[in-house]
Structure 1
Amino acid sequence: MREVPAMSTVFDAMLAASRHDQTPPWDIRADRLRRLKRLVRDNHEAIASAISADFTNRPRQETALLEVFPSLAGIDDALRHGRRWMRVRRARTGLWFLPGKSRLMPQPLGVIGIVVPWNYPLYLAVGPLTGALVAGNRAMVKLSEFTPRFSDLFARLVQASFAPDEVTVVNGDAAVAAGFSALPFDHLLFTGSTQVGHHVMKAAAANLTPVTLELGGKSPAIVGPGADFERAVERILVGKLLNAGQTCIAPDYVLVPADQRDRFVETARRCVGRLYPDIARNPDYTSIISPRHFGRLVSMIDAAADAGARVVPLTDAAPDAAARRLPPVLLTDVPGEIQAMQEEIFGPVLPVVTYRAVDDAIAFVNARPRPLALYVFDKGRDVVDRVMQQTVAGGVTVNDTLFHIAQDDLPFGGVGPSGMGVYHGKAGFETFSKVKPVFYQAGLNAAGLLKAPYGKRFEAMVKMLMR
């Protein structure tokens, strides 16, 4: 595997700095967080413009809502609670070891590697970076080659705000990403596709580098029989069409009662008309990131139609390859083996699957790999509780979509093929820390009785311990 000399040199310097300053105090951590906050806050307009140019069009309002706001909120949460998170904590000591004491001491791991995808390049860089910095680490950030304008801007902003041995941005192609993943980080966080996640994990395994993998998958939305139907459809469409569906936790298919399918289709069509009137020219609707991704989505729709699925456009607009605008479509009567039901869609295409009873919907979800997100809509507590108890997902929002990711006190992460490990808030602090267990022996203790030569007194002590 090709290694980038400059990248490994930066890593070596950062590693040496982390080992020299093993546990930075709170004032240093807080200063780094405040510099990161200023970087985002003072440059959010330029950041939004760069991201929009990378997409051809993405409304600055979406960048503000989905990237700038949660980035700043996460930093504020870390500033508010980080001093408390880093305190040494008491732990219970076994009865037979009293009056000794047990403690848990959080310490920085050292150098954190963060691999960032193209779909939310600011938030998915700043979110993990916040966790790394509040835990006292240094970090190297690899940005996506699919967002060259943002990546160049962010690298310059970081360079102006941080010393090279605090935070460094690495830009480059897939070969650079492969070399980055092979560096012997103290922890590596990757956000991206499951396919690439396999390669990242293999590269990290050579160094026994622990990894957090934030992957994707097919996140279901279940519309229960007691749902507020009109609101459920709107919230599913909002979650699906933000960033034109290029969101790892966007609803990837929807399960509706069989007798409500046609109503769902008509309600969805009206909803899209309200959300994005004149969608072909509407500046609020995001473009697909690249010609390759646009072509993949068009081919996915065509393949579904060829397999017998019904393609239901939700607007009168046609796909525009030049502007990479793909109007939203529903797929009904979908065969289970088609690409749209096997792969994460990552675009404005939504399969609609019908069910007869809630248990059938649950069984449908459970017959597939565990998703990164799950959404359930119903006014009845019994339906919601049944879905919660009988399914496993990385995270859940009830009667809405997406919002569980914005809660700083909720860990964010996948399960199984949708990922491993968590971050955000205190969970991120602990992911990027070694919570070191320490036992303090008391001056007066009975440990001296538990040693050779073994005799009657030792046997009596062991019998007492094993009662």
Structure 2
Amino acid sequence: MAYPSPSGSEMEGKDHAARLLDVQRASFRRDGAPDLAKRLDRLARLDSLVLAHHRAFAAAIDEDFGGRSRIETGLMEAAPVRGAIRHARRHLKGWMKPEKRRIALTFQPGSAWVRYQPLGVVGIVSPWNYPLQLALSPLVDILAAGNRAILKPSELTPHFSELLARAIADAFAEEEVAVVTGGPDVAAAFTRLRFDHLLFTGSTRVGREVAKAAAASMTPVTLELGGKSPAILCPVVDVARAARSIAYGKFVNAGQTCIAPDYVLAPEHLARPLAEAVLAEAVRAYPRIGDNPDYTALLPLSARSRLDDAVKQAEAAGAIVLRHPDSGAGGRYPPTIVLATPTAGLLAADEIFGPVLPIIPYRTLDQAIALVGDGEHPLALYCFGDVRAEIDAVLSRTQSGGVTINGTLLHIAQEQLPFGGVGESGVGAYHGHAGFQRFSHARAFFRAGRFNLLERLGPPYGRGVARVLASLLPRGK
């Protein structure tokens, strides 16, 4: 991964991050694990921060994108963060209680339990596509687990990142939570710091580099990546319902969602009706594109040429392209359906991350399942159908980070469910209790009783020990 020579401000950013890590680690060692009251206080301050600044955050993100629906920012970012905070505060007392574990008869009358203790200082590297939610949602779990945190938001959303830095500084002491801003060079140096845990959300390509950087200092990582998340229509399905859900999941935030449906597999006789239905839903939701405040622009602007090239290549190879009647303007790319997409080419090779939806016909459900299995494990999978056996076949023979059945995106909104990838789509999961555990150390405890059989069986070994061992390991053939 090549980076430009660092500027003076970037060097300051790297030094600042290292200093903050020293400050937070010293604070953690001095104060130890915070009690329930301190954790609840930090979560309450985070909630107040979101409530006080959510409109300013939405305005900053709108400016960074050159057009980002402020309602979308509220619904998809600020509201879920507040929901995660409420969930954590409601359940935190129970999560913090030691968990008793059973012990074998040979170790009676001892006792065993697990206590979840904070790791220390956690680094968060968050992306640009959901800059508020993907910075603060993991912070909820990190604070609930009793850790300190340093955030590195994306340089592609500079107005939001600067506002977040000021808001965090107003709400938290730097020894609790802090923000470091800067470009790729700062981010690269940040990932090389010896955190007690590092969370990265972004592309698989960069995720590999983050994992390498963290490995040098033996820093454990949680990687939330992406991939080509499929939507599969079973042979027996409500096409209209599927079209509504797919259109929503694909075109919200203009497709710049890590769990957006990347492509659709549909029975041959349903592929064209589905394509037309999805486009109709897109036109209903977004009657115009160029000046529509409900429809988000692409970031960066170079994404438009990337999508244009991919669509043109597919069209030249024989695909049918259905386009929104408004061609868009000002960085906004219109919803586009590519029917009978070639299995090779730009649309098939990489995560699309934009409002272009390939629909690939299949002859049998087995063929569709095989197509998914031929690729890397995606971050999400969507299955639409009305026959339980068909749905079960899809789910039992595929792998993905998470699943929504007869809908899209909805599994990520469930605080009771872990969110994370598998294989190429990520390592580890968080959200709710899973996040509390992810950012904790499950510390094992055993208290020996007054009578300890194992020690009684210690050397010098005699006939009694031999008889006990024979009962545990009877003679084989």
Counterpart amino acid of 1:416? G
Say yes or no: does 1:256 pair with 2:266. yes
Say yes or no: does 1:193 pair with 2:193. no
SS in 1 for 2:248: helix
Say yes or no: does 1:221 pair with 2:231. yes
Q: State the 1:67 CA deviation.
A: 0.3
1:34 to 44, 54, 67: 44
Moved more, 208-217 or 330-339: 330-339
Moved more, 295-304 or 339-348: 295-304
SS in 2 for 1:197: helix
Q: State the 1:319 CA deviation.
A: 4.3
| 1:90-239 aligned within 5 A | 90-239=100-249
| Residue number in structure 1 paired with 2:384 | 377
Counterpart amino acid of 2:104? G
Structure 2 Cα separation of the partners of residues 146 and 240 of structure 1: 22
CA contact (8 A) 2:279 2:335 kept: no
SS in 2 for 1:43: helix
Structure 1 Cα separation of the partners of residues 404 and 55 of structure 2: 30
Q: State the 1:166 CA deviation.
A: 0.3
| 1:61-460 aligned within 5 A | 61-313=71-323, 315-320=324-329, 323-460=330-467
1:154-204 deviation digits (Å, cap 9, x = unpaired): 100000000001000111000000010000011101000000001100000
Q: State the 1:454 CA deviation.
A: 1.6
CA contact (8 A) 1:55 1:287 kept: yes
Structure 1 Cα separation of the partners of residues 124 and 20 of structure 2: 15
Structure 2 Cα separation of the partners of residues 20 and 384 of structure 1: 53
Structure 1 Cα separation of the partners of residues 471 and 300 of structure 2: 70
Counterpart amino acid of 1:312? L
* TM-score computed with the length of structure 2 as normaliser: 0.95
Structure 2 Cα separation of the partners of residues 464 and 209 of structure 1: 44
Moved more, 382-391 or 213-222: 382-391
Structure 2 Cα separation of the partners of residues 395 and 297 of structure 1: 26
1:325-382 deviation digits (Å, cap 9, x = unpaired): 1001111222211111110000000011011121211111111111100001111111
Structure 2 Cα separation of the partners of residues 380 and 453 of structure 1: 67
SS in 2 for 1:146: coil
Counterpart amino acid of 2:460? P
Counterpart amino acid of 1:252? D
CA contact (8 A) 2:304 2:333 kept: yes
Structure 2 Cα separation of the partners of residues 358 and 251 of structure 1: 18
Q: Unpaired runs of 5+ in structure 1?
A: none
1:69-119 deviation digits (Å, cap 9, x = unpaired): 110000111100111111111011012111111100110000001000000
Structure 1 Cα separation of the partners of residues 252 and 41 of structure 2: 34
Q: State the 1:43 CA deviation.
A: 1.2
Say yes or no: does 1:7 pair with 2:14. no
Counterpart amino acid of 1:176? V
Structure 2 Cα separation of the partners of residues 363 and 430 of structure 1: 35
Structure 2 Cα separation of the partners of residues 109 and 447 of structure 1: 33
SS in 1 for 2:326: coil
Q: State the 1:13 CA deviation.
A: 0.8
Structure 2 Cα separation of the partners of residues 224 and 319 of structure 1: 33
Structure 2 Cα separation of the partners of residues 9 and 285 of structure 1: 41
Q: How many residues align?
A: 464
Structure 2 Cα separation of the partners of residues 294 and 192 of structure 1: 19
CA contact (8 A) 1:329 1:349 kept: yes
Counterpart amino acid of 2:134? L
SS in 1 for 2:51: helix
SS in 2 for 1:291: coil
CA contact (8 A) 1:307 1:338 kept: no
CA contact (8 A) 1:449 1:458 kept: no
RMSD (Å) for aligned C-alpha atoms: 1.3
Structure 1 Cα separation of the partners of residues 386 and 342 of structure 2: 30
Q: State the 1:453 CA deviation.
A: 1.4
Counterpart amino acid of 1:309? A
Structure 1 Cα separation of the partners of residues 340 and 275 of structure 2: 12
Counterpart amino acid of 1:318? S
Q: State the 1:245 CA deviation.
A: 0.1
Counterpart amino acid of 2:472? L
Structure 2 Cα separation of the partners of residues 172 and 365 of structure 1: 38
1:368-422 deviation digits (Å, cap 9, x = unpaired): 1111000011111111111111111100000000010000010000000000100
Say yes or no: does 1:58 pair with 2:68. yes
Q: State the 1:305 CA deviation.
A: 2.5
SS in 2 for 1:409: coil
SS in 1 for 2:412: helix
Q: Unpaired runs of 5+ in structure 2?
A: none
SS in 1 for 2:403: strand
Structure 2 Cα separation of the partners of residues 381 and 160 of structure 1: 52
Counterpart amino acid of 1:385? D
